[in-house]
Amino acid sequence: MSSSVTQCPECSTRFRVSDEQMEAHDGIVRCGRCNAVFNATEHLHDDEPSPQLSLPIATPGDEIAATKDETIVAEHTIDLSGINEITTDETTAPAAAVAAEEPTLAQQIAFHDEAPAAEIGKPVAQQRRWPWLIGSLLLLLALSAQALYFYRVEIAAQLPGLKPMLTSYCGLLKCTIPLPKKAELMSIESSDLEADPLQANVITLSALLHNRATYTQAFPSLELSLTDMQDKVVARRTFAPSEYLKTADDEKLGLAANRETSIKLRLDTTDLKPSGYKLFLFYPK
């Protein structure tokens, strides 16, 4: 077997390489001392190899393939089927072509190294969302509590089944749940003013109140104005529910939905001599 002496351009070490090795890899070899890759045919030398070089000269393709196999076993992160294909190609391709594929392995290793970091970051992001979620729930509860407080009368009127719960809620806040007072849904269906035949200067006011709401309402206050022949007001008086209802219980119960109730008031009109009247209902503010 014929051989030649070549010199490493990096460390100036001379070693012998067979012609078959150079032909198999187009003259590309790797220095056994400094691992530099170079073209042996371009650095042939007439002298004998360096005596200190006792290690066998490895071709670039063989050494790189061995290095890759060791890396795969140590990391356990690269698909073995892919490595087998690369190793097979290295046995027939030039050493320079094999070296060009090394960045691909580095990219694969870097990808597997970075993947756990991305997975670890997910729970951290989820943990950061918990305070916002808890804060949103607390804010929602606070808004719901305020809505129950400000609209407790309307809620109790429209949803009577919730009134016991609202009553307990108001017990904690020291508030009350009065009956609704919608004057536009309360009307005077009829009224009349008559003189008492048995008592002079005494008149009797009769009126029929109608609650047109779909829920129970509080009794309104009534304003009576007495007028003379010129329709001028000669006397005016306001009557609270306690003054025209028979009992205090009637006032607490209120006027039921779509119900009517009649009232009567006896008034002393000494020296007034009214000839007409005006009657209004309202809810004091």
The angle at the Cα of 205, spanning 202 to 208, to the nearest 5 degrees, equals: 165
Q: Mutual orientation of helices 102-150 and 163-173 as an angle, nearest 10°? A: 90
Q: Label residue 86 by pLDDT band (50, 70, 90).
A: very low
Q: Report the mean per-residue pLDDT for the chain.
A: 76
% helix, strand, coil for the chain, step of 5: 45, 25, 30
More confident residue, 66 or 15: 15
Domains of the chain: 3-106 (no CATH), 151-180 (no CATH), 183-282 (2.60.40.3230)
- CB distance 190 to 223 below 8 Å: no
Backbone angles phi, psi at 277, to 5 degrees: -155, 165
DSSP per-residue codes, 258-280 = T-EEEEEEEEE-TTT---EEEEE
Task: Please enumerate in sequence order all residues whose Cβ is within 8 A of that of 238, keeping only pairs 6 or more positions apart, or say none.
Answer: 221, 222, 223, 224
Rg (CA), the chain: 53
Backbone angles phi, psi at 203, to 5 degrees: -125, 155
Cβ-in-10-Å burial (0-12, 13-18, 19+) of 108 comes to middle
Q: Is the pLDDT of residue 60 over 80?
A: no
Q: Is the pLDDT of residue 275 over 60?
A: yes
pTM over 0.85: no
Q: Is 85 helix (H, G, I), strand (E, B) or coil?
A: helix
Q: Which is nearest to 228 in space by CA: 220, 219, 237, 236?
A: 236
Model confidence over 160-216: pLDDT tens digits?
A: 888 888 888 888 888 888 899 999 999 999 999 998 888 888 899 999 999 999 999
Residue 2 has a pLDDT of: 77
What is the residue type of 204? T
Q: Is the pLDDT of residue 57 over 70?
A: no
- Please tell me the least confidently modeled range out of 79-83, 173-177, 253-257: 79-83
